[in-house]
Structure 1
Amino acid sequence: MSTNGSDTPSSARRASDGVSVGFVAERSGVAISALHFYEQEGLIRSWRNGANHRRYDRDVLRRVAVIRVAQKAGVPLKEIAGALATLPQGRTPNAHDWERLSTGWKAELDARIERLTKLRDELTGCIGCGCLSLKHCPLRNPDDRLAAGGHGPVLLDAAAKDDEA
């Protein structure tokens, strides 16, 4: 999604030479290789100047900040890309944009927290299928009734499917 992948006309590009990949890396604290990866995944855009150097509009700094915060919260890159695609190109994401994006991720984050809390609380007792907890197995999985649900941690898998629905 680099070079000419932007909606901004080339005449407007000449008015602003943008910033270099090194500048973006230094200011954002993100490795150049990560910036190139973000670009490959459609999260950010660059363009090439007359000397064929990769350049970014300054709004990319805020977009990278949004990406980093969302990643730290556990939001998958595909969801981040989808959310960033709703923002207009060439405009720095603002507080209203962030509020809208983060609100959209809140329900999934709450569900993930609930799953992780349940997993943490049950981790020493059972992994979801009863196979490692002989003392609790007759209560949670009498006569191996969970075997009909599939292999592995079927209770945990079922909880994850419920959360996805």
Structure 2
Amino acid sequence: MAKIDPADIKRPLTVGEVAQRSGVAVSALHFYESKGLIRSVRSSGGQRRYGRDVLRRVAVIKVAQRIGISLASISAALASLPDERTPTAEDWARMSRLWRAELDERITQLTRLRDELDGCIGCGCLSMKVCKLRNPLDELSDQGSGPQLL
């Protein structure tokens, strides 16, 4: 393990260094920045520079994504932090409580879907009289395109 000079701790990181340290592609970091999830400053040469605290924000983003939290929910949670500061352990506990409710709802929906699919043979075209997922007479068209019961 390389020893870090204490003076080096305050040195901003390049996008490549953040990518390497976080395990996130440079393109993903640019995307996160475009969505306001992380932020950088520009060097005199116009290159992105990040404070080391961005590593914790990226870790929070990646963990939240891994458990299925949408970027919109992640963005809202990070935006609620005062001065867009780095999340603390207390912040994580608060965010995870909010996300737990979101996950519980998704688990309920997926469980219901799983249970309704037990009798389905695929698209349901051969069991339209008993399929719970079908849309008789296109009754759900006013709710938008695509599957509405899922």
Same fold (TM over 0.5): yes
Give the deviation of 1:90 after TM superposition. Answer: 6.5
Displacement after TM superposition at 1:17 (Å): 3.7
Tell me, what secondary structure is at the counterpart of 2:137?
helix
1:114 equivalent to 2:85? Answer no
Residues 1:149 and 2:139 aligned together: yes
Structure 2 residue aligned with 1:41: 35
Q: Which amino acid aligns with 1:81?
A: S
Distance 1:24 1:89, change over 3 A: farther
Relative contact order, CA 8 A, sep 6+: which one is greater? 1
Instruction: In structure 2, list runs of 5 or more residues that go unmatched.
Output: 1-9, 142-146
Deviation at 1:94, TM superposition (A): 1.3
CA shift at 1:134, angstroms? 5.2
- Among 60, 67, 86, the alignment partner of 2:61 is 67
> Within 2, Cα distance between the matches of 1:145 and 1:25?
46
Give the RMSD, CA atoms, in angstroms. 2.8
8 Å CA contact 2:78–2:84 kept in 1: the answer is no
- The answer for unaligned runs of 5 or more in structure 1 is 1-15, 161-165
SS of 1:55's equivalent in the other structure is: strand
Runs of 4+ more than 4 Å apart = 129-132
TM normalised by structure 1 equals 0.69
Shift of 1:89: 4.0
What amino acid is the match of 2:49?
R
TM-score normalised over the length of structure 2: 0.75
